Structure 1
Amino acid sequence: MSFAAPSLLWLVLLAPAAAAAAVWLWRRRLAADAAWAARGLWSRLLPAFAPRRLTLSVAALALAVLGVAFALARPRWGSGEQKVERKGVDVVFLVDSSLSMGAFDAPPSRLFVAKSLVRRMVRDMPGNRVGLVQTEGDSLALAPLTLDGAVIDLLLDAIDPGSLPTPGTELAPGIETALRLFGQGGEKHRVLVMLSDGEDWGGGLDSEVSKLKENGVIVYALGVGTPQGTTVPIPGNPGEVKRDQDGSVVISRLNEDTLEKLARATGGDYLRATSAAANPSRIVAQIDRLEKRTIESQSLSTLEERFQWPLALAVLALLVYLGVGPFLPERLPPLPVRFAVARSHVLPLVLLTGLALPSLPWQPHLPAWVERWMYNPRERTERSIQEYQKGRAREAVEPADTAERLAPDDPTVQYDAGTVHLGAGDSRRAVSLLEKAAKGAEPGLSPAAHYNLGNAKLAAGDADGAVEAYKEALREQPANQDAKHNLELALREAQKRRMGGQGNPSGSRGQQKQNQQPSNQQGQGNPQPKPGEQSPGAQQKAQPQQGQGQQGQPQKPGEGQDDRLPQFRNQPDMNAREAASVLSAVENLERQQRRDQAARRARQHAARGKDW
């Protein structure tokens, strides 16, 4: 047997105290009665007097207090299995990255708006498997279906206008690739979200519509741009615009008819997005109403709550105490009156015990003094961890906040509360808590606190702050591969923001709103646990990004860059900071090379037809 709130077991000491107090009160009454009548006359003056019932009355009172104490401590015994299922739908995002998606009629650019919408929809649809496909003249599957939204967020950064080898806009190859990601079976649980300006120069969409219907795929289309249109910029060449084979300036316009036709034909919906402030909530709500299937299932072994038994014993003992005593009236009151008296005594006892139960609606609104009396940080933290490990991050927030209020200066409590808030998507609150934890943490906790602080700052949009936090984590724990991996991401993000401030909107990113942590925790995105202790997500060890093939993987120093970065070769003993700087430089070079290649292809194909 164990107790969910063992700190409340001290209440059992109130049982002998209550018994002693009851005996003292009865003795005072007996002494007062003896002052006006001899004890031998009591049987005649007080026919209901029965001194032998005094022992039973006191024992019943002590047993009632003992039962309440054990009920508040919440005894648990007997194992049971709780099946936790994760249900959702499969959602593949098809992002058009043709040259026309670099147009500025949907500020700051069409592609920027499309990527922002994908990030927002992934954030607003937790529990679904998501995949990512990039399409131009051909298509590329960037991410298979995964529960880790952080993978999608990372790979979106690699998408630039005209970055695929074959220029142009053909939606059919992208649809084919998406269908391959869905695989066989799974009808009624599949969604294709298309983000494009609708210009399609390849044709063949009618046959793709038939395939979508056969596979039970519903299409939701988001048209990015305006019907009036604008010029198409050439990547890497500010001020230069796309021209056709006749030398005329190309004007790219939003083709809503194509996208709306695809959506309506498959039972989906269409939405126009003309800026990054566009709200996809209507599409998200429709996807959320679709029939869901079980994506993940696991059985958790739990101890059964048995507080009902000591509580029932306490209620029974209290009734005995109220009905038995050394003094009873000659005539008992009517039955309804007796029930009313019993109810007035028992109901407060039941309500008081109920305050300790985790699922009652008034619990989050308890006064501070009640929280201090009823709970302790350890018990509330344990409750928070249990909820978090069951995948209920939002439900874990309340007990974590209670623990933090009870122990506002405890770094361990601050770390656990910050970790839970990070998992629930409240990155700003997580930053505040984890900063406090990192300042006062002991050596065993400090690396994990700085690591999660980096995750929180990166999620809150503070890439520079995340870099410093990851560096501190690596100073204290140099072998932390997850911190190294996330440091690379933070450096890229910081560099990208600086580039964005120089007039490169298509390569920049707004404030990150992703609920997941940057390091892939085997598909869950859980923060790093405290070494040696159980903490939220403790059963999931962080691993490098998986499931994305070679996309998004940083190029190793010296690979294919000998002519550009000779100073980085033959340095096997680089520290984490140097390695991260090299990877950031290589990433920037790769991005610039992709833009240069896109610009060259745009010029080379100018005379070959529509390639935007």
Structure 2
Amino acid sequence: MMPQFAEPIWLLAGMAAVLVLFLLFLLSERRAWRRLREFAAPSLLEPLTASHSRTRLWVKNGLLLLCILLLCFSLARPQWGANWEKAETRGIDVMIALDTSRSMMAEDIKPNRLERSKLAILDLLETVKGDRVGLIAFAGNAFLQCPLTLDYQAFRQTLFSISTETIPVGGTDVATAIDEAEAYFEETGNERILILITDGEDLEASGIQKARDAGQNGTRILAVGVGSTSGELIPISTPGGQQDFLRDASGKPVSTALDEGTLRRIAEVSNGLYAPLGPTGEGLRRVYEFSLAQSESTEQEEMLQRIPIERFQWPLAGAIFVIILESLLSTRRRNKGNGQGPGLGLAVLFLGSLVVAPGESVAGTAKDAEKAYQDGRYEESLTLYKDALLDEPDEPKLIYNTGVSAYRSGEYEEAITRFEQTLKEGSPKLQTKAFYNTGNSRVAYGFDQLEDQPALARDQWQFALKDYESALALDPGHSASQQNIEALRETIANHTYSLDVQAEPADAGSVSPGGEVFHKVPVPLEAKANEGWLFTEWTGEDIEDSTKARTTIRPTENRSVIARFVKTWQLEVATEDPSMGSAGESGTYREDEPVTIKAEGEDYFAFSKWIPEGCEVANEAAPETEVTLTADAKVTATFVPAFKLSVNLDPEIGGKAGPSGFFEEYSVVPIKAEPRPGFEWVGWVGDGIKDPNAPESSISLTADRIAIAEMKRIWNLVIIPTPEEGGTVEGAGNHPIGSTVEISATPAEGFKFDGWEGPGVEDPEAPSTRVTVQSTEHNLFARFSQDDSDQDQEDQDQQDQEQEDQQDQQQDQQDQQDQQEEDSQSDQQEEQDNEDQQEDTGEPEDNEGEEQEEQPSEQESPGEPQQEDSGEPVPMEMSREEARQLLNALSEDERFLPASELSQEKESDQSQPSGRDW
């Protein structure tokens, strides 16, 4: 029978390696002989090489090449012969679609979303005995990675290779994953289940329709959400090896959040169920158990599964024998009688020891692990126990001791995993210890995560209480569990705070309720203003953004927060005669801030005064003024006929003069002129001016008037900032023609310098430069413009706020809809409970007692790994004083199981129900 190879690529690799090495050996020998001939005379070659055997050298090289060939042959995993095993199937096909997009690298679940999902799938494989499973990876596209199979080992190997590089097309297209699954479900009559594991960000937005179509075809979709709804950045590594986060085109970090709404909808339209994955993968187990409860399939048939027999041990043993033989063979010629029999015999004995004494090796490894543990070398002990488990993976006591070493090494999750295995295989006595020490492990793990993941710490402590209670249920006399329950409850109470949320004034709006909250666990805060009120801010500690009506608080002690509101009023700004002018603007304004109003007349009309109704106007005669509101109010702008006044400069760059505009007929208007540096005042030219020689005078408007302010130039170099308020300039004055002068321009706040305009400037782009004076009337202009960067940021902030307000409104509508559905379901459940209560009235009371006794089995550890503890104090090495106080209070009277017990037969009480059955 010809052998088969599970990894045939190694055969090609071995042959290529042997060919390359043979050529290298050949070239090396020729090169060595050539150098020897160059070094020594021909007559000396034979004496110099008399002790060297060329035949022995090629025998050694041949043995080395043979060793490499045998090793590659072993790595190719030769298989011949097979064992046939019966596998019962329930007629259920389970296809798992795993999201591999970049967003799955977010670390809101440790170690990240993708790795946590893969670990949860591995845990699920332990419960799907008899069901065919398949695997699809998807991102912007989807491809089948493992077809439906009962070979769970092959499935595991495929799962291990999955990464974010598996699907090269970026994005998240849930619809393609559903299409791919539908294409590979076989028409066998088996029930079809698609488990969709993703963060729910369906960028193509077509997943719900595809799910509806799949449900009509008989496929039930179970959606499992990965990540947190609050959002998380996506870590990446830069080409330089630095840690950074994924950014969009504008350079802002990209945040990814779990979209539970889409996933819940996908599950609903296909008669499935949605659940969040959770920190330990309990969501995946929950949806699978739901599918089994809904399934009509039972144990339908038995299938013979062919398990190939691995034969890699034989070529591996041959390789070891050959390499030992090669090391014992020398290239020097030996005298007769100096054989290598002893060395060869030693090699044979060594190989024999590998075959005949595996049990002693395992026991020796376990004893070495125990010794390392007793010496305080916990990490080394953990490594040795893991090695021992490779040969005896189902030995409960060995699994138990591995958990002990993991706990002492600070590997709490590893320890929890080992103790969960102990609960499945161990005796009731060992289960009691496992439950007890699992509680201690969860407490330690909770303190580890208290600051970074407080919700996880809270859940771990709650699970720890159930573990202690389970230990008491198995052994009511286990006083240490009772003591730890009391200590842990006190610790939980010390990290549980009261949150008081109030509105001020109380009738101004509504706020989210307060209550008991856990240390640093985010609690949503929401303030809604009543009609006529406006939310202003939150006051209190630990609030993330006190300016937003919907925000979050992470309390670190008892907190009282207040949502502050301000009264708003309606202001109407009107004009007595709209044909004369306009005024504005009307709207809703806060009571605690003055409102600016402004009136502007049409041509040949001038503002006269404001007429207030129900409010106070700061200056009724000013066209622009402020209004203080204490109630709904109205102000009216009045206008009168006017003449036009034009105030000009001669020359135009000579300074400032004004005002110009429309003023009330037959009124006297003050006018003023101010020369620019480099000019001096001359006088006014025009009719109706009271004092033409004074820069500050007045003019009588009996008709339209023109007043000209005349200036005289006194400097040959004049520098004008444009606009005037844009900044200041230096360097102007009287300078010799042809001289070079230092000039500078300084922008005012909110402005930026754009450049110089005029002849003779060395660097027109530099704010400080030099100019060559070219004439008696040399004019330069310093150009300034508004700096819009701050305004752009304000606009962006306003846009972001509007977007958040829109999302809040959509969330409010969704919450209201969900509440209506919950109320409807609650009413139906209440009617059902009333009917059940009427039906159960005549049953015996002891039935209820039996249910209460069985209840703790449902509240065991939530499927997470569990951990154990030895009789010595737990070396928590916590930096927080609270951690040390609690862990010192935890009673630890359980004993480490010596490795010597591993060689004994299993305890007789192992036949009793396991920790899942009691």
Structure 1 length as normaliser, TM-score? 0.36
Computing the radius of gyration over CA atoms, which structure comes out larger, 1 or 2?
Answer: 2
Report the structure, 1 or 2, having the larger strand content: 2
Which has the higher relative contact order, 1 or 2, with Cα contacts under 8 A spaced 6 or more apart? 1
Report the structure, 1 or 2, having the larger helix content: 1
Structure 2 length as normaliser, TM-score? 0.25
